[in-house]
Amino acid sequence: MRSADLMPVTVLTGFLGSGKTTLLNRLVRQPAMRDALVVINEFGDIGLDHRLVAEGDEHSVVEMSSGCLCCTIRGDLSKSVQQACEALEREGGRPISRMIIETTGLADPAPILHTLMTDHWLAQRFRLDGVICLVDAANGVSTLNAHRESQRQAAIADCLLITKADLVDEPRLARLSERLAEVNPAAEQLQVKHGEVDAARLTARRLPASGNPDRQAEGWLGAAAYVQVSPAAGLAPTPSEASAPLLAPATTSPLSRHGEQIRSFCFSVEAPIAPEVLEDWLDLLMSLLGDKMLRVKAIVNVAGQPQPLALHGVQHIFHPPVPLPAEACADGVSRFVFITSGVAPEAVAQLFDYFQAPHPTKPPQAQ
C-alpha cells in the first residue's frame, strides 16, 4: 500500500493533567474526527478517561488500562486495534479512516511511534500523522524542569498545545513559550482553552505523502529552526567536548540545565548523497545510537534518483522512504533533523564524513 493510502495516526501526549482528555472530548465531536478510532491508554486499576470521552460508537473507543503503552503493553496496541476494527466490520459499523492515541501522562512517546512503525499489522494500515503534545500553562515550566518524560514528550512533538492559558498572565505564557522553543524549536505552538481547537490545525504537519505540495514537506521538516551542522567541520567542539569520546553525550549545553539533555540540530549536505553512503551512515548511526534518537526526519537528495526522499525514523527504525515532488528539495541540499537524547552533533557529522571519504581508514571510536 502507498504511504498516502495508509490511515493517519495522531499521538496525543502531555504530562499528567495537562488536558488531554478535555481536548480529546472536543476533538471527537468534530466532523473531521467522525471516523476516528480513539485509543485511550490509562494507567492504574480503574480507567476513567474513556468514560469522559464523548458519545460515539462503542467500538470506536478502545481503552487500554493494563499498563503503560510505552513500556509494558506495546504489543497489545496492535491486538486491541485489530479487535476493534474486526468488531466494527462484523457489526456493520462505520469503517475507520484515522486513529488517535491518547497516551498516559508519564508515557515516553518514542517507543509508541516505534511500535507503530515496526508492528507488521499496524505498519501495513497506519502511518504517523503527527505527535501533539499538551503542556499546561500553569505548571509547564516546572514540569519540564523536573520530569524527563515531559521534556521527551515536548521534544518529539510536531505541535505543542499550551493548555489552560486562561489561568496565567502573559509574561508567564511567554516564559513557557521560550522554554518550549529551547526544547523543540521547530514545533508550532498553539494556545488552547478548555480543549477548543480546530481538528484540522492538528493534522497540518504530517509526514508528506507522494504528491503533496513541497511547502508541506518544508513545514514537516522545520529544518530552519534548528542549530545548523554540516559535514567536514561539523560544529566546532567546545573545549570540554574536544577531548570527550566522539559518541559520548556532551556535558555542556544550554539545554542540559534540567534533567535529560535533549539535543536537536539540522545536519545539511549540499551535494547529492550516494545511496550506499546514506544507507551505511544511517545504519551505523541507528545501531550505535538508536535508543538516543528520539526522532529523525529528513528530505534527502539521493544521487541518481529523480525525486527527493522523505525519511522518518524513531530509535532504531526508519519508515519506508517517501518520494516527494522535485520542488521539495529545490536547492538540492539534503537536510536531516535529529532530535536526540544527548547525541553530539559532531558524532553525526564525523560518521557521515567517514562514509563519504573516498579512502576511509578507521571508523570513529564508539564508546
Ligand X SMILES: Nc1nc2c(ncn2[C@@H]2O[C@H](COP(=O)(O)OP(=O)(O)OP(=O)(O)O)[C@@H](O)[C@H]2O)c(=O)[nH]1
Q: Which residues bind ligand X (CB under 6 A)?
A: 14, 16-22, 49, 105, 163-164, 166-167, 193-195
Shortest distance (Å) from residue 8 CB to ligand X: 22
Question: Is 301:273 a contact under the CB 8 Å cutoff?
Answer: yes
Shortest distance (Å) from residue 158 CB to ligand X: 18
Nearer to ligand X, 134 or 310 (CB): 134
**What is the grid cell recorded at 151?**
521534556
SS3 label, residue 245: coil
Shortest distance (Å) from residue 22 CB to ligand X: 3
Nearer to ligand X, 195 or 219 (CB): 195
Shortest distance (Å) from residue 111 CB to ligand X: 18
Shortest distance (Å) from residue 134 CB to ligand X: 6
Shortest distance (Å) from residue 152 CB to ligand X: 15
- Torsion, Cα 239 241 243 248, to 10 degrees, reads 170
Query: 216 exposed, middle or buried (CB, 10 Å; 0-12, 13-18, 19+)?
Result: middle
Q: Which of 147, 151, 105, 112 is nearest to 131 (CA)?
A: 112
Question: Is 161:133 a contact under the CB 8 Å cutoff?
Answer: yes
SS3 label, residue 273: strand
Nearer to ligand X, 141 or 300 (CB): 141
Q: How far is CA 239 from the centre of its chain?
A: 32
Nearer to ligand X, 167 or 224 (CB): 167
Shortest distance (Å) from residue 138 CB to ligand X: 8
Phi and psi at 103, nearest 5°, equal -90, 170
Nearer to ligand X, 54 or 271 (CB): 54
Nearer to ligand X, 195 or 325 (CB): 195
For 58, other C-beta atoms within 10 Å of its C-beta total: 10
Phi and psi at 232, nearest 5°, equal 70, -80
For 123, other C-beta atoms within 10 Å of its C-beta total: 18
Nearer to ligand X, 23 or 235 (CB): 23
